[in-house]
Amino acid sequence: MEISVQGTHEETVRPEVARLHAWVRAEGASKDQVLRTATEVVNLISAEFDRLRDSGAVVEVVVRPISTSSWRPIAKGRQQAPIFRAGAALWADFTDFIALADLAARFGATEGLELQRVEWRLTDATRRELEEVCLTRAVEQARQRALVMARAAGAEEVAFVQLADPGLLGDRATAETFAVAAPMAMARGAAFAGDDLSGIDIRPEDLTVAGQVQARFTAG
């Protein structure tokens, strides 16, 4: 007798890193002016990120190059003078969530700066550790499920024949049942919310790391 089962396990933990995504933009009739304005805002927020990195509150900062573009609006059927835009994307990884909330409160209303979203993350070491835990327990669960089924059918023991990530055992119908690839990390819920004057209310969201396996056993 052959038994095919799946095993799953999840671990829910608090995030360790908050990646703040920001965007700087400036727009106007002068290319030089919008570029100068965007550069000033980028330098302002970059300097703060660097200060926080020196203090240990931020572990990594990425500042993308400033890009420019232009277009000519049309009003009453006539093409107008060009409008220029300059912008740059930035992100910083915070390990100090109080420092993140403070920065959001102080810089959230800065003209030309948009604090877009917070991406809650785990460190690579923690994620790998949790993935190993989830996979180990998913395998244990798969064996236990197979053993219960085998004993219900009159057998006493089971032995592994195949063990794989979801969808890799060659059974297409079964593969379509497993929508989540083994292991993964995901955040539940919205990242942050707030108003324009008081800054952004940072609300860390729990992260779930999940492991899933498919297994086949012989029972006897």
Contact 37, 43 (CB under 8 A): no
Angstrom distance (rounded) from CA 174 to CA 169? 8
Give the H/E segment covering residue 132: helix 124-152
Q: How many CA atoms lie within 13 A of 121 on its CB side?
A: 17
In the prediction, which pLDDT does 149 show?
Answer: 95
pLDDT in tens, 162-210: 999 988 886 543 333 333 333 444 444 333 434 333 445 578 889 999 9
What domains, with CATH codes, occur in the chain? 2-14+125-219 (3.30.110.170), 17-121 (3.30.70)
Contacts of 131 (CB under 8 A, 6+ apart): 183, 209, 211
The DSSP letter of residue 66 is P
pLDDT tens over the chain, length 220 residues: 999 999 999 999 999 999 999 999 999 999 999 999 999 999 999 999 999 999 999 999 999 999 999 999 888 888 899 999 999 999 999 999 999 999 999 998 999 999 999 999 999 999 999 999 999 999 999 999 999 999 999 999 999 999 999 888 865 433 333 333 334 444 443 334 343 334 455 788 899 999 999 999 999 8
The size of the chain, in residues, is: 220
3-state secondary structure of 101: helix
C-beta separation of 23 from 89 below 8 A: yes
SS3 166: coil
